[in-house]
Structure 1
């Protein structure tokens, strides 16, 4: 039988976090609450930025793009899990599984690129403040977003096309709450050496280069800030980077945790829990980080929700 005909009738089963039926209502409630908080929090960030003319700057343009990406990341994975628990049906079609894995790669990759773009934005703002609006013009900002999306889509497309070359036989059970690329590859009954090589090699390059760019940007930022003579000036410069640094630490910290978990343990439960921290937690926490650490965002959100203007 040809692989094309074989994969046309394939159906995977997402095992989720647990098989215990008594825990399913609790898991459903937790993930539903997490999803609603994520969507509402990031939507408020987008609305606050769009409604406040003072926030129509490159920094907040990238932040609204990050919030939109976080909404898309959660929407790619959590709703399917909630439907599966509610309907007590863990099956997902081959097409649906591959699509979910691809979109998860796209939006995760897009967040990875956006964090690097935001680091570059902070570098220009602090190291070249007089030329900031000239360098970070609307055309460059839009180009950086489109370039990030293009690179992320290309990265996801590469892995998706390689998975299409695999054939699958039996025991198509994924010990996860969504179709993670690495878990799908493990189920193949054909040779997966090239796929696994690409996952690690391309992954290191794709996530390593933006991380290197972020580190390089902050080395330049720290060097520039240390040349500021006044304590108040230093504090003001560093305060604009606090939220971004927190988000970067959360994103790459949880991502590194997933990598280490898969490398040092064979426990599927530990891998799933690590992926929950990576896929679910950062999109939910990002709005809180930016709203708590940024005075302008606090003012805009309060103005949006309560209707009290802030000067």
Structure 2
């Protein structure tokens, strides 16, 4: 585990950048959007399933912030919004929004071919698919070659970017933490844990792939969070008795603004080493100096804890200790399997020693 202190001053100026955020009316979405605009982001687009174009614009909302009525569960809506309406994306943030409630109570299914709309309640696989579709379309736009006025491709790669996923369930992907009645629906925490673990696996699987196109992928595992302006919950939330004689008096929380800091930091930070090497890469390549490896990539920031602005990055420590918990022999075997199918281009000939 790597302890982090993240301050607003750690976020670089973002003039000329375009960001999209899901989550609609979520407090985390709004806090993230305001942080991006405060850092000079030229365009921030919020994908909101409940947006009404007929409503009068809020004068308190920065002019560079726009809203699109998009249900991110629906592939065609999502694809059209990102590829045809936004077109260019530097930073993409997936934050669970109000439409996620429909997953849990058995709302309508999405419009994917062959989709079964029955028995949808608390469908963790549906949320994983939604996140996968979001990554898919944003990765495609970020890696899409730019065109010159003459119609010829300027180069073989796009300008790249960064995708950050707000991991459902927070710590549930690392440690089971079921929601307690009456805080949530029975089983809701189990479904969050399933989705969170699957999305963590998605980040790990893609971090050596998307970066080849200059696209970083990261996550933020969000612990208990309260609105920065809410009076509904104090900063430390009292919990009911669990069993006779046992009581958790207080649950440390972070505000939506603090979570937003972690999200934007994940999209804009740099690193001095990669999380791990893959395939034909040498162990020393973890400190690669290639441009794309300087992007903060394949990492997950854990936001739980009572210390303001203090967080933990989990994936680097987990990868470094793999030989301890998986076994050195098993690690070597898996690296051999990776190397056989590793067809990425290398600047020098990497002959991995079996």
Q: Same fold (TM over 0.5)?
A: no
Q: Normalising by structure 1, report the TM-score.
A: 0.28
Higher relative CO (Cα under 8 Å, sequence separation at least 6) belongs to 1
Q: Normalising by structure 2, report the TM-score.
A: 0.25
Query: Which structure has the highest strand share of the two?
Result: 2
